[in-house]
Amino acid sequence: MDHKIKAWLNDIVIAINQIKEFAPKEEDLKDLKTRFAVERNIEIIGEAMDRILKVEPNILITDSRKIVDTRNRIIHAYENVSPRILWLIMDQNLPVLYKEVEELLTQ
């Protein structure tokens, strides 16, 4: 695996771990600083995925393009990102992403 891709995959793992640490429960997102920390880490995940897709567009990560789109939504349409949306991402999407990235890193 390309060393740059491996570094970006590691960035995704770190960001997911930080999100889990900052907000293990949905109500944690009511705190503005926690919400901003989660948003920032989702932005990092999306940016890393965008960089990966430029090098390896066929990488086997579910909804890889949607991950980048989510980053763009948080940055450009921030007024439409609620704590509930963040929690759904954290609860439903990040566990799948984490598993897939870990599998890629062990190959």
Encode pLDDT of 29-72 as tens digits: 999 999 999 999 999 999 999 999 999 999 999 999 999 999 99
3 state DSSP class of 19: helix
pLDDT, position 95: 97
Domain limits for position 28: 3-105
Q: From CA 73, how far away is CA 53, in angstroms rounded?
A: 18
Query: Angle formed by the axes of helices 3-22 and 32-55, to 10°?
Result: 160
Residue 91: pLDDT band (50, 70, 90) is very high
pLDDT, position 1: 81
Q: What's the mean pLDDT in 83-93? A: 96
Q: Which residue has the tokens 């890889």?
A: 64
Output the domain CATH number for residue 11.
Answer: 1.20.120
The total domain count for the chain is 1
